[in-house]
Amino acid sequence: MAIRLAELAVRYGCELHGDPDLEVSAVATLGEATEGCIAFLANPGYQKFLADTRATAVILNAAAAESCNVACLVAENPYAVYASIATELYPPPALRPGVHKLAIVGEGASVPDSCELSPGVVIGRNVQLGERVYLGPNCVIGDDSVIAHDTRLMANVSVYQDVHIGARCNIHAGTVIGSDGFGIAQSAQGWLKVPQIGGVRIGDDVEIGATCTIDRGAIDSTEIAAGVKLDNQVHIAHNVQIGAHSAIAGQTGISGSSRIGERCVMGGQVAISGHLTIADDVFLMGRSIVTKSINQSGTYSSVLSVEEAGKWRKLAARFKRLESMAARIKALEVKLKSSMDGEN
């Protein structure tokens, strides 16, 4: 499929520099682009590739447009315009509707003809699928779960019973939704398992990466609101609530019953303790650890980045002696005061 620049400019509200009849049919990076490709410039670190790009057109902001020697679409948010154009050029693969002969559909399940159930799929009793749901090979859906229209599950996804997934979601391979929360009670006989009888509720337009784990609630449900985006290997414990349009990078873990606000952004490997509340619009730098509720939107961090190991070893040793450093400062203050008092 080829699209005229004029058409793209109109559709995405961009100012067009260059020949409106040029057509693009593929995306590429500035450095690798050839004729017929559209590239974009969003991260200033890649500006150095702009001057020599062989792209037919580049999506960029007004400031960068001056240094561009090929056609360009000038946008306030070049990355968002790129996302939209790339989605036009690379739509998800068309479904091949039907239930494969090696797929198993449980009693009472509702599977519209527009769905594609791949080989190895196993769906339980009374499962309800919306129109055009795609279930990749070896996906398993537990009894009474509901998946709304146009949602796609890639290979080997495990969904337990009583899980509701909204429309237009993408769920990547190996992810598990609805596993038991980590509910255990100490007793004289060791740990007692606490039955996890809540479900999981996932809103529309949610993206969930590969091998994530989203536990079912202990009594009420775990809830992920519309528009949330999770990267790979994210762990969401029981009864967590994640507000709409929050985005969470890889290997982050959120402990039980914590509530994350709307439009929060977390870097990778973040840890959030249980039973906390995080306000809307909180940005957590990667590897941050949160042990108390955060009531104010803003950016938070707890990162100490690497140093050469010898230098770090000294810093760590000093850190471990902070108490004695504080005591020495106190002693100096006392001595200096008495010395100066003595002078007067």
Instruction: State which of positions 313-332 bind a copy of itself (CB under 8 A).
Output: 313-316, 318-320, 322-323, 325-326, 328-329, 332
- Nearer CB in complex with a copy of itself: 66/310: 310
Measured distance CA(156)–CA(136) in Å, rounded: 7
Binding piece for a copy of itself, criterion CB under 8 A, among 13-21, 48-56, 58-66, 166-174: 166-174
Q: Does 128 bind a copy of itself (CB under 8 A)?
A: no
- Nearer CB in complex with a copy of itself: 20/319: 319
270, 256 contact by CB (below 8 A): no
Q: Which of 193, 191, 153 has its CA nearest to residue 170?
A: 153
Total count of residues recorded for the chain: 344
- R_g (Cα) of the chain, nearest Å: 27
Q: Does 186 bind a copy of itself (CB under 8 A)?
A: yes
Q: Is 161 exposed, middle or buried (0-12, 13-18, 19+ CB in 10 A)?
A: middle
Measured distance CA(213)–CA(230) in Å, rounded: 11
Q: Residue 22 CB, nearest distance to a copy of itself (Å)?
A: 20
Measured distance CA(95)–CA(78) in Å, rounded: 30
Measured distance CA(100)–CA(120) in Å, rounded: 8
Q: Does 288 bind a copy of itself (CB under 8 A)?
A: yes
- Nearer CB in complex with a copy of itself: 54/229: 229
Q: Residue 75 CB, nearest distance to a copy of itself (Å)?
A: 11
Q: Does 54 bind a copy of itself (CB under 8 A)?
A: no
- Nearer CB in complex with a copy of itself: 12/19: 12
Q: Residue 35 CB, nearest distance to a copy of itself (Å)?
A: 16
Tokens linked to 194: 């606490």
Catalytic residue among 235, 238, 245, 275: 238
Binding piece for a copy of itself, criterion CB under 8 A, among 17-25, 53-61, 126-134, 248-256: 248-256
Going by their DSSP bridges, the two strands 122-123 and 140-141 should be labelled as parallel
Which residue in the set 137, 279, 280, 281 belongs to the binding site for a copy of itself (CB under 8 A)?
A: 137
Which residue in the set 41, 70, 74, 82 belongs to the binding site for a copy of itself (CB under 8 A)?
A: 82
Q: Does 136 bind a copy of itself (CB under 8 A)?
A: yes
Q: How many residues interact with a copy of itself (rule CB under 8 A)?
A: 130
Site map (CB under 8 A) of a copy of itself, residues 200-229, x = contact: -----x-x-xxx-x-x---xx------x-x
Q: Position of tokens 């994640």? A: 242
- Nearer CB in complex with a copy of itself: 19/176: 176
Q: How many CA atoms lie within 13 A of 344 on its CB side?
A: 5
172 flagged as catalytic:
no
Measured distance CA(283)–CA(272) in Å, rounded: 13
Which residue in the set 111, 140, 167, 202 belongs to the binding site for a copy of itself (CB under 8 A)?
A: 140
**CA 13 centroid distance within chain:** 28
3-state class of 247 per DSSP?
A: strand
Q: Which of 140, 145, 115 has its CA nearest to residue 128?
A: 145
Positions annotated as catalytic residues are 238
